[in-house]
Structure 1
Amino acid sequence: MTSYFRPNINTMAGYVPGEQPKPGTKIIKLNTNENPYPPSPAAIAVLRNLDSEWLRRYPDPYANDFRRAVSEVLDVPTDWIMVGNGSDDILNVIIRACAEIGRKVVYPMPTYVLYRTLAEIQPAERIEIPYGEKYHLPMEELVAANGAVTFIASPNSPSGHVVPIDTLRELASRLSGILVVDEAYVDFANETALPLVKEFEQVIVVRTLSKGYALAGLRLGFGIANPKLLSGLFKVKDSYNIDAIACAVGTAAMRDQDYKNACAEKVKASRATLMGDLKQLGFQIRDSQTNFLLAQPPQNNAEQIYLALKERGILVRYFNQPGLTDKLRITVGTDEQNQMLIEALLHLV
C-alpha cells in the first residue's frame, strides 16, 4: 500500500488529548486540568464588544498589545516575549528551530507527552530519562545526554511537583543547548524559574493562559527569553499565529491579575480539601503545586476506577504508561464537583 507520509510519521502514535465530551453533555470534567471558574469579566467584555474590523484585517503578527500587558505584569521587556497559539505552539517552534536528526531532545519522564510527539514529528532523537521514585531531577543524566533542547515541566504533569529554581539554575549552567522550563501550571505554584531568563541566554520560560486564566479554549501562550534566542524562533513561527480576538481577550485577562489570583487561591484551597478527602479514602497523594492531584487508589486499580467513574458521568485522566498505570490524575474542580467525586469514590474503593 502506498504511503503519503514520511517514515517517522507512519511509525509514530501521535498525541492523544484528554477526552472532550460534546457541548451540553452533563458530566463532571476533571480530566484535562481546565480551570473550574470562568474567565475574567474584563475578558468576557472584550468579546461582547467585538469590533468586526478585527475579523476583516490581518492581526498584529507579534501580538504587541498582549506583549505589552505581559511586560507590565511580569516586568520583562516586550522584546523578550514571544506569543504563541497556546504554549504548545511555542514548544513546536522551539523543536522546529533547534532539533533535527543528530540534535537530541531530552526530558525526564513521566512528563507532558507532547514533548515526545514533537520530537517524533521533526524527527529528532529523543532521550527520555526516568524520574526517581521521589521525582528528584536526574541532573547528571540530563547533562550527560547533551540535548539540543532539554524540556523541564515545572510544575510537572502528571506529578504536580516543582523543580527548585536553584536546581534549574545548576542545570542551565551545565547545558550547552536550550533549556525550556514549561510553566503551564505556575499560577498555582509557589515558585517560578522566570529569573533564569536574565541569567542565561539559552533559557526560555513558557507559559499559557489555559490554566490560571481559564482560557483553554482561546489558545494563547507565550515564551520569555533573551532576544538573542527569540530571534531564531521568530524565523520559524507562522506569520500570523495569533488571531486578533485572542490577542484582545488575552490582553484584558492578563491585566486583570486580581481576578486571576483570586481564582487561583480558590483552586489551591479546594486542592487541599480534596487531597485530605482522598487520603481519608486510602489514596496515596503526592503534594501538588498545580490544579490537579496524582492519586494512587488503595487497591492500585486505577483503570477500573477510571472506567467506573466515567459510567457515573465523572471524567478523570488515566495514563497507560510506565509508572502511571496504578494512578489517576484528577483535576481540582469546584468544591461541589469535588464532593460529588468523593461521594462516587465511596462506592468504588
Structure 2
Amino acid sequence: MSYFRSNVDQMTGYIPGEQPKPGTPIIKLNTNENPYPPSPQAIAVLRNLDSEWLRRYPDPYANEFRRAASEVLGVPVDWIMVGNGSDELLNVVVRACADLGRKVAYPVPTYVLYRTLAEMQPAHFIEIPYEENFQFPLEKLIAANGAVTFIASPNSPSGHGVSLSDLRHLAANLTGVLVIDEAYIDFAEETALPLVKEFENVMVIRTLSKGYSLAGLRLGFGIANPELLSGMFKVKDSYNVDAIACLVGAAAMQDQTYKNECVAKVKASRTKLAANLKQLNFRVWDSQTNFLLVQPPTGDAEQIYLALKERGILVRYFKQSGLEDKLRITVGTDAQNQTLVEALVAIVE
C-alpha cells in the first residue's frame, strides 16, 4: 500500500548539492553561492527590523520589492511577480500551464528541477539533447511546441548563454509559454528581458541567490506581461514571500553598485581559474556564470570529486549521461580557487 499518487511513487525527486553545517571547515564550490557577503544595506535592514513586520502577515504581492525591481529594471510594477526563490516561480508556471495533456519541453543537460516539477504535476515532458558543444536545438524545440518551454540562459551545468536572436525566434514560433530562466544573468553578457515586451507568452525569471549573495533568503522574481501573470497569481500561495525577504531583498536590489563590484570580482576570478585549470590540461568550457564546467584530462571526474571532498573541498559531480566525465566548479574567492588548484595538482600528479 502507498499513501502517494502513482507519479510521486515513481519519481526520484530533486537532489540538492551537499550543504555542510555552518562553521564546517569546508571550501564550498558545489552549489554556486556567491563567495562575497550580501550588500551592507541589506544587512542593515535585517539588523534594524521592526518586530511589527514579524507580527503581521506580509504583503501578498511583495510590493516593496516589486517597486525596487521596477526602478532598477525599468519595467512596470505590475509586470513583476515575486516568489520564495525562483524555484517557486518555476513550480507556479508548471502548475498553472501544464498537465498530462500539456507538455513541458526543455533542452538537456540543464537544471534538473524542470523534470522534477513536470513529474510532480504530473505532466508529460520532452527532453531535447543539446547538440555538440552545447549548440542550441532551436528547431527541435519549436517542433516540440510545449505548453511550457524552459530555457536556462545562461545554462547550468554548461555555463553557456543562448543568443537573444535564437530566443526571439523560439518565442515567435511557440503557442505555449516560453520561460527564460536567468538565474545567472548577473554574470552574463546578454539578457532576454526585452522579449517580455515583444511577446505576451514570454516570462523571464531571476533570483537574488547568485549575484546578490542571498541564497539563504529564498527570493526570486519573474517578469512578464500582466495577462500572463494573471494566471500565475491564481495558483501561488497567498503569502508566499515573507516580510523579511521582501525588505532585505529590496535593499539589496537598490544597491546595484555593491552587487556589480562583487560580480566584477567573480568574473575576474573566473578568468583566472579557467586559465589555471587549462594549464593542468583540463578542458574548460566558456562560461557566462559564476561556475565552470570542466573535464579532467584523464576523464576520472568522480574520483577527483571524491579526492577533493577528502581534502575538504566540495565541487559538483553529476552522475548522468553526458556529464559522467565532467565537474562543475563554483568560482570562489582567489584564495579558495588557489587552494582548489593546489589540491588538483596533487591529485592529478
Q: Does 1:236 align with 2:242?
A: no
State the Cα distance separating 1:52 from its structure 2 match. Answer: 0.5
Cα deviation, residue 294, structure 1: 0.1
Shift of 1:136: 1.4
CA displacement 1:128-147 (0-9 Å, x = unmatched): 00001121111111111120
Cross-structure match for 1:333: 332
Q: For 1:228 and 1:142, how far apart are their aligned partners in 2?
A: 24
Which residue identity does 2:175 align to in structure 1? S
SS in 1 for 2:92: helix
Where in structure 2 are there 5+ consecutive unaligned residues?
none
In 1, the alpha carbon distance for the partners of 2:139 and 2:249 equals: 39
| Cα distance, 1:236 vs structure 2 | 0.5
Shift of 1:333: 0.0
CA distance in 2, matches of 1:297, 1:262: 31
The 2-side partners of 1:139 and 1:199 are apart by: 19
- The reply to whether residue 41 of structure 1 matches residue 40 of structure 2 is yes
Equivalents in 2 of 1:19, 1:289: separation in Å?
23
Secondary structure of the corresponding residue to residue 90 of structure 1: helix
Counterpart position of 1:248: 247
What is the CA distance between 1:299 and its match in structure 2? 0.1
Task: Indicate the SS of the match to 1:317.
Answer: coil
C-alpha distance after superposition, 1:28-62 (max 9, x if no partner) = 00000000000000000001101100110000000
Once the two structures are TM-superposed, the CA of residue 22 in structure 1 deviates from its matched residue by: 1.2
Number of residue equivalences: 348
Structure 2 Cα separation of the partners of residues 137 and 150 of structure 1: 13
Q: Which amino acid aligns with 1:103?
A: R
Q: What whole-Å deviation, never above 9, does each CA across 1:94-138 have from its counterpart, x for those lacking one?
A: 000000011000000000000000000000000000001121111
Q: Equivalents in 1 of 2:63, 2:8: separation in Å?
A: 35
Are 2:133 and 1:134 aligned?
A: yes
Cα distance in 1 for partners of 2:344, 2:198 equals: 47
What is the 5 A alignment of 1:102-121? Answer: 102-121=101-120
SS state at 1:111 partner: coil
CA RMSD of aligned residues (A): 0.4
Partner AA of 1:215 in structure 2: L
Give 3-state SS (helix, strand or coil) of 2:299's partner.
coil
1:90 alignment partner in structure 2: 89
Which stretches of structure 1, 4 residues or longer, exceed 6 Å deviation after superposition? Answer: none
Say whether residues 1:30 and 2:29 are aligned partners: yes
2:313 is the counterpart of 1:289: no
- TM-score, length basis structure 2: 0.99
Question: Residue 348 of structure 1: CA displacement?
Answer: 1.2
> In structure 1, what residue type is equivalent to 2:239?
Y
In 2, distance between residues paired with 1:96 and 1:43? Answer: 32
Percent of matched pairs sharing the same residue: 77
- 1:161 paired residue number: 160
Which residue number corresponds to residue 205 of structure 1?
A: 204
CA distance in 2, matches of 1:323, 1:168: 24
Counterpart Cα distance in 2 of 1:345 and 1:40: 32
Q: State the alpha-carbon separation in 1 of the partners of residues 42 and 284 from structure 2.
A: 35
Could you list the runs of 5+ residues in structure 1 that have no partner in the other structure? none
Offset at residue 278 of structure 1 (A): 0.2
